[in-house]
Amino acid sequence: MLQSERIQTFVALGDFLRSDKAQPELEEISLRAYHKNNWFTPENTKKALSAIATEFLSEQNLNGWLTNYPAEPQTPRTVGVVMAGNIPAVGFHDLLSVLISGHKLLAKLSSQDFVLIHYLIQKIKEINPEFTELIEEADRINIADAYIATGSNNTARYFDYYFSKKPSIIRKNRTSVGLLMGEENDDEFLKLGHDISDYYGLGCRNVSTLLVPDEYDFTPLLRALEPQVTTYLNNHKYQNNYDYNKSIYLINAVPHLDNGYLLLTENDGLVSPVSVVYYQTYKTQANANQWLNERAERIQVVASAQGWHSNSIPFGKTQCPGLSDYADGIDTMAFLTSL
């Protein structure tokens, strides 16, 4: 199968996901995903599928992305992918990368995201039956020629050992940082709120730490986000996390701020619990740069108002990655086309 045929298959998938005809089917699959995993609300699932269709699966975007890589592999390989499952359809980019590069996919689906990825795989096969021979779902992927695995820092050590004799990409825990300068307005705070809380803050592109000037006043930010209380506390899993973390802070007399659904506390960690955002302070922009540089290997994205900081993206854009926004900053396509 030529690259042009592979591209047209994914363009057709994007056209289908965007079509009115697909909406009843997507409504059903969204409900099935929610019954399997209550973090995956129908609203969030449809948002994720819409982002895939819009940002990934247009002919223009696919062609622009692929001009940077060889059209066909020297030798087609079987690539084993251990997929993440923290937010809806998060493993789709790896699925797309393996197949569009001309390799065979041997996928170990996350139990948390099985419904959506399995559905998308079946839809790809339906659009182009030739992919039936190029996609296999499996619990064991030890027969693969190369690997892509996403997990925690602990599971990454296991992956490093288990896949050490073959080419691999092993991804670890990462999170994202919001950089404030003290001049943000309510509109920018609302966009930052999406970066923090979309998908309940479970993604590596969610902002879990804020870097703020000394003596920063969080009141405008917390007030701007207060109307979101009902949205998040309507999910019982989120509310359980919020109630638990709040009680821990109160019992242990940990200083914190609270707007009814979101807790802010000063902490030198990067990955905060669900419903909590950590913050740290800086004195000068040079201090902020140093802080970010020292933690660069643990940060997926830096967001700032209107992208004012170099190498940052504007607030509200962290959950809108393009095809070239690779997890952990590792070029997946360069890896695949080098096999």
Distances (CA, A) of 89 to 53, 117, 277, 303: 12, 6, 24, 23
Q: What is the pLDDT of residue 136?
A: 97
Distances (CA, A) of 212 to 43, 100, 198, 226, 298: 31, 41, 21, 20, 19
Q: What is the CATH number of domain 3-172?
A: 3.40.605.10
**Is-contact 191 225, C-beta < 8 A?**
no
Query: Residues 233, 238, 243, 249: is their CA dihedral positive or negative?
Result: negative
Domain ranges of the chain: 3-172, 175-314
Per-position pLDDT tens, the chain of length 339: 999 999 999 999 999 999 999 999 999 999 999 999 999 999 999 999 999 999 999 999 999 999 999 999 989 999 999 999 999 999 999 999 999 999 999 999 999 999 999 999 999 999 999 999 999 999 999 999 999 998 877 777 778 777 888 999 999 889 999 999 999 999 999 999 999 999 999 999 999 999 999 999 999 999 999 999 999 999 999 999 999 999 999 999 999 999 999 999 999 999 999 999 999 999 999 999 999 999 999 999 999 998 888 889 999 999 999 999 999 999 999 999 999
Exposure pattern of 67-95 as b/e (b: 16+ CB <10 Å)? eebeeebeeebbbbbbbbbbbbbbbbbbb
Q: What is the pLDDT of residue 169?
A: 94
Those residues whose C-beta lies under 8 Å from the C-beta of residue 214, and which sit 6 or more positions away, are 281, 282, 283
In this predicted model, what pLDDT tens digit does every residue of 134-150 receive, in sequence order? 999 999 999 999 999 98
d(C-alpha 333, C-alpha 122), whole Å: 23
DSSP for residue 74: S
d(C-alpha 211, C-alpha 336), whole Å: 36
Domain 175-314 is found in CATH 3.40.309.10 = yes
